[in-house]
Amino acid sequence: MRNWELCLQFVLWSSVTETVLPASQPSTVQADKEAKLCVRAGRYIGSQDVFVSMPTGSGKSLCYQLPAVLHKDKVAVVFSPLLALMKASRDQIDHLQKLKITANTINSKMTSKERGTVLRDLRCKTPDTRLLYVTPEQANTDTFKILLSELHKHGKLSYIVVDEAHCVSQWGHDFRPHYLKLGQLRTQYPDIPWMALTATASATVTKDIVAQLRLKKPLASFKTPCFRPNLFYDVVFKDTMEDPEKDLVDFALSCFDENAPTDKQSMKACGIVYCRTREATEDVANSLTRAGLLTAAYHAGLKDGERVRIQEEWMNGKYPVISATVSFGMGVDKGSVRLVAHWGVPQSVAGYYQESGRAGRDGGPAFCRIYYSRQERNAVDFLLKKEIGAAKTEGKREQATAAYRSYESMVRYCEEAKCRHRVFAEYFGDEQPTCGKQCDVCRNRAGVEESISRWYEMVNRRTTFQLTEDGADLYGGGRKGMEKPTASQKFQEAPGIKPWTSVSVARNYY
C-alpha cells in the first residue's frame, strides 16, 4: 500500500470513529462496519467512480469530505439538492476543522461580496477551499460552467460528488429534473472521478442512478444494510382513538427521558412530527403546546428568516418538538431525536425510511410511529391518481404511475401485519434482518392484527353513503358527458390502476 493510502486510512479511520460514533455511545459491530466502509470508499475516489448506499445517519458524507484532506490545492465539487442541506454539510465540515477542511458554497442567497470572495479563492493558484457545495440548478449557470472549466484546465478539480443521488431517478421518491443535467458534466470532464451517495435506493433506482450520471466502469460500489436496530417502528389508527392528539403527546413524553444526564440543552431529547399540509403543522403545534409540550411549526409558508430561526431554536433545544412538512430535516444532523411521528400516511416506503431515519442518530433507542387514518389515506390516493390523469407526456405519466405504486406499498405497510424492518429490507434488496422485537408486529403480532381488524370494522361502520355512478366526475372537476375528459377519467387508462367508480369505492375505500 502506498504512503498516501496509509495516511488516508489513518486519517479516515480516526476521524470516522470519532465523528460517527459519539463518545457517549459504545461502538457497535454495525457502526464499525459503516466506519470502515467510509475508509474504503474514500480510498477509491482518487482513481475511479464510486457509488455509496448507506443508511440515514450513518455518516456517509464523510466518504467524500475526509479524502479532501489529501487533495492538496484541489477542489471537490459537491452537488446537494437544497441550500438547507448544504448548510448542514457545512456544519459537519466545521466539526472537522481540526483536519483543516475548508468548505464554501455558491448559491442564489449570497451577496455579490460573498460570492466574489469565494470565486477569488477558487481562482487562486493554491485555493483554501477543499469542498465547494452547489445545487444542481447552479450547474447550468454560465458562472458555474466557466468556473468548473477553469478548475479543470488548471488541474484543480479533484472529484465530483452527487449527494442524495436518488433525486436523479424518476423511479425514486424525490425525483428532481435538474439532477438529470448533471450527467452532461460526465461527458465534458470524463477524466474526473465521480462519487454518488444515497440512503434510499432500491435496485431499480440504483441502476438508474448509474445510467443517468454515466458512472464509469469499473465502478467501486459500497452498500451497508438498511436495518437500524435502535429504531422501533409501529402504526396506530387515529380512527379508533378517542383523542389522537393526546395519544401523540403521551407518545412523545414516553420517548423523552427527562432524567438523561446532559449538560447541554441542545442534547436533550427531542422529536419531529411530520404533517402533509401547512395547516396540519400549525394545528399539531398548537395542540401539543396547549398540552404542555412546546412545539414549533415549520413549513414553506413561513419567511426564510423565520424558518431558519425555528430550525436553529429546535436544534438548540428551545423547542422539544417541531411539527413540519417533509421538506424539513434533509441534512439535519441532531443525534438526540428520540421520536419521529407521521401525522398521516407517508407517500412512499423510501421516503418514510429516510424521514424516520432522522431518529436515533446517536445510536440510542428511538421510536417511529405513523398515525394512520382513512381520510388521509384516501386524500393522498385521490391526489396521486389525479396526477396520473393530468400527465401530458408519457414520461410524466410513467413517473406519476410509479409514484402511485410506491404509495400502494406504503398503504400495505400500514394495513398489513408484517415486520416493519423486513418491509424496508425487501424494498432495498437487503437480506432479511433479525428484528428482535423492534417493531409492533414482531413484539405483538396478535395485537397488531386485532388493531387492524378493529380499524376495518370502525371505518366500515362510519361509511354512510356511496358515490353515485358519476360521482368520480365531481372529484375530477367536471360533469359526466363533457367533451374534454377530466383528470379523474384519464387516470383510469393507466395499466392496473382501478377507476373511481361506485363499485371500486365501496370495495376498496372505507
* Same domain, residue pair 83 and 204: yes
Q: Residue 340: beta bridge partners?
A: 272, 368
| % the chain with pLDDT above 70 | 76
What is the sign of the dihedral through the CA atoms of 34, 40, 45 and 51? Answer: negative
Report the pLDDT value the prediction gives residue 461, as an integer from 0 to 100.
78
Q: Mean per-residue pLDDT for 27-55? A: 72
* Same domain, residue pair 193 and 325: no
Q: How far is CA 143 from CA 119, 183, 190, 429, in A?
A: 10, 19, 21, 41
Residue 483 and residue 1: Cα distance in Å, rounded?
A: 73
Look at residue 358 and tell me if it is in a domain.
yes
pLDDT digits (tens, 9 = 90+) for 68-83: 877 888 999 999 876 5
pLDDT digits (tens, 9 = 90+) for 193-239: 999 999 888 888 999 999 999 999 999 998 888 999 999 999 999 99
| % the chain with pLDDT above 90 | 49
* Same domain, residue pair 188 and 54: yes
Look at residue 181 and tell me if it is in a domain.
yes
Mean pLDDT of the chain: 81
Look at residue 403 and tell me if it is in a domain.
no
Report the pLDDT value the prediction gives residue 106, as an integer from 0 to 100.
85
Q: Three cell numbers at 387?
A: 396526477
Position 298 pLDDT exceeds 90 = yes
| 196, 223, 250 - which closes a domain | 223
Domain count, the chain: 3
Report the pLDDT value the prediction gives residue 92, as an integer from 0 to 100.
56
More confident residue, 41 or 357: 357
Look at residue 298 and tell me if it is in a domain.
yes
Closest CA to 34 of 231, 165, 227, 267: 227
Q: Three cell numbers at 442?
A: 414482531
pLDDT digits (tens, 9 = 90+) for 299-337: 989 998 898 899 889 998 999 999 999 878 766 778 899
Look at residue 32 and tell me if it is in a domain.
yes
Q: Identify whether the C-beta of residue 89 lies closer than 8 Å to the C-beta of residue 134.
A: no
- Phi, psi (rounded to 5 degrees) for 377: -60, -50
CATH of the domain at 96: 3.40.50.300
More confident residue, 276 or 486: 276
* Same domain, residue pair 177 and 278: no
* Same domain, residue pair 127 and 267: no
Scored b (16 or more CB within 10 A) or e, 111-143 reads eeeeeeebeebbeeeebebbbbbbbbbbbeeee
| 193, 223, 253 - which closes a domain | 223
Report the pLDDT value the prediction gives residue 208, as an integer from 0 to 100.
93
* Same domain, residue pair 324 and 429: yes
pLDDT digits (tens, 9 = 90+) for 347-373: 999 999 989 999 998 889 999 999 999
Look at residue 394 and tell me if it is in a domain.
no
* Same domain, residue pair 31 and 77: yes
* Same domain, residue pair 174 and 245: no
Look at residue 402 and tell me if it is in a domain.
no
- Phi, psi (rounded to 5 degrees) for 140: -95, 5
Closest CA to 337 of 285, 267, 280: 267
pTM of the model: 0.79
pLDDT band (50, 70, 90) for residue 36: low
Q: In what order do the strands lie in the sheet with 295-298?
A: 231-237, 366-372, 337-342, 270-274, 321-324, 295-298
DSSP class per residue in 226-284: ---TTEEEEEEEGGG-S-HHHHHHHHHHHH--TT---S-GGGS-EEEEE-SSHHHHHHH
Q: Residue 196: beta bridge partners?
A: 51, 162
More confident residue, 229 or 42: 229
pLDDT band (50, 70, 90) for residue 95: low
Least confident of 58-72, 126-140, 368-382, 412-426: 58-72
Look at residue 408 and tell me if it is in a domain.
no
Report the pLDDT value the prediction gives residue 475, as an integer from 0 to 100.
37
| 462, 482, 498 - which closes a domain | 462
Position 15 pLDDT exceeds 70 = no
More confident residue, 490 or 242: 242
DSSP class per residue in 352-376: HHHHHTTS-TTSS-EEEEEEE-HHH
Tell me which residue range forms the domain holding 499.
471-508
